[in-house]
Amino acid sequence: MKKISLKNQNFTYPIYIGKNIFSKFLVFSSIFSIQKNRKIILITEKKIFSKYIKKMILNLKNTKLYIVPGGEKIKSFFYYKKILFFLLKNLIRRNSCIIAIGGGSLIDLVGFASSTYLRGISLFIFPTTLLSQVDSSIGGKNSINFSNKKNIIGTFYQPSLVVIDIIFLSSLKSKELSNGLAEIIKYAISFDKIFFHWLEKNIDSIFSLKEKEIFYCIEKCCKIKCRIVSKDEKEKGIRSLLNLGHTYGHAIESLFKGKWNHGESVSLGIVLASYSSFLLKIFSKKEIQRTKEILEKSNLPINFPHKIKIDKFLKIMKYDKKNLEKKNALILPLKIGKVKKFYGISEDIIISSIESINNKIFY
């Protein structure tokens, strides 16, 4: 087991990475609640409860269980209110604790509820998907969707503890592993060309869940994100660079209304961002090709499934959180291993990037 600390001038908390540490930490949390006379609310997904929690729940003291379905649909006011009613019903106070066990959508939802209920109560996170282990469990961004707009309502609220157990990954389907790989590839393109080269050689090992490679991959991504969040918690500067492919990707998610998952949308978003950078005479054809090849190796899309309506796509992009007034904001690759934020990219560049994929013009 390894420990990484996320330190900022306002907070510090540990991130543990290991194998078969899940049950031990649940017992620890239960003992901690008794010592401090704290109530615990354990919120998890239906499939996680059935596979991992059902047998041990009777041993957890002072713990109330709340189960939600998984998936992007739970990031809504409907499930947010259901959690708040459950917290009220169980007389949860500021000295209580919430444990979130699930994927990125559940962590976003529960983090948002934890940050707003009584203006904030302690949160322990146990991410169960590759995507949540390398990205969404770290850094304290919490959100729900509204009016078919991705992550439009949210908070910055840091957990007290993150525990990453690779044992959860054994129950994931290939598509769910690909979902996480999109974010991992994003880290490599954005910040580390050596890591990108390592991924090109080791994608098959990740799909095979080889322990050494999986452990290295998760640790690498966590360290990159911790380094950035420690400098910029609330995305006023360098943290926005973590959003390569996300401006396009969030628009794709909204446009397809849940038919594509986050990783699939970010994958195509990275391709679109690469095309935009190429059209600005920055990113090279060779780097575009390497980017597309590693995404395809990861079973991720690099094309739209059908032609899309560009005017509708552009309208959705206007709601992106990074935009300033009337200026759009795009994170674009300068080269593999380095990205930059651009404001006011011309609509012609964006349209040409989308048309390139619509009309299957490959660079």
Q: Given a cut of 90, is residue 215 above it in pLDDT?
A: yes
Structure confidence at residue 53 (pLDDT): 87
Q: Given a cut of 90, is residue 175 above it in pLDDT?
A: yes
| Strands ordered across the beta sheet of 97-102 | 2-7, 12-18, 161-165, 122-127, 97-102, 40-45, 63-68
Q: Given a cut of 60, is residue 283 above it in pLDDT?
A: yes
What's the pTM? 0.93
How far, rounded to the nearest angstrom, does the alpha carbon of residue 170 sit from its chain's CA centroid? 19
Q: Identify which of 92, 127, 356 has the alpha carbon closest to the alpha carbon of residue 221.
A: 127
- Residue that is written with structure tokens 């704290």 in the block: 38
pLDDT one-digit tens code per residue, 119-166: 999 999 999 999 999 999 999 999 999 988 888 999 999 999 999 999
Q: Given a cut of 70, is residue 292 above it in pLDDT?
A: yes
Structure confidence at residue 272 (pLDDT): 97
Band (31; pLDDT cuts 50, 70, 90) = low
Name 162's bridge partners: 15, 125
Higher confidence at residue 29 or residue 245? Answer: 245
pLDDT, the chain, mean: 92
* Angle, alpha carbons 175-48-165 (nearest 5°): 80
Structure confidence at residue 61 (pLDDT): 74
Lowest mean pLDDT among 34-43, 44-53, 336-345, 348-357: 34-43
Structure confidence at residue 316 (pLDDT): 87
Percent over 90 (pLDDT), the chain: 75
pLDDT one-digit tens code per residue, 69-125: 989 999 999 999 999 999 999 999 999 999 999 999 999 999 999 999 999 999 999
Q: Which residues are catalytic?
A: 119, 141, 183, 225, 235, 239, 243, 246, 250, 262
Work out the average pLDDT over 261-283: 96
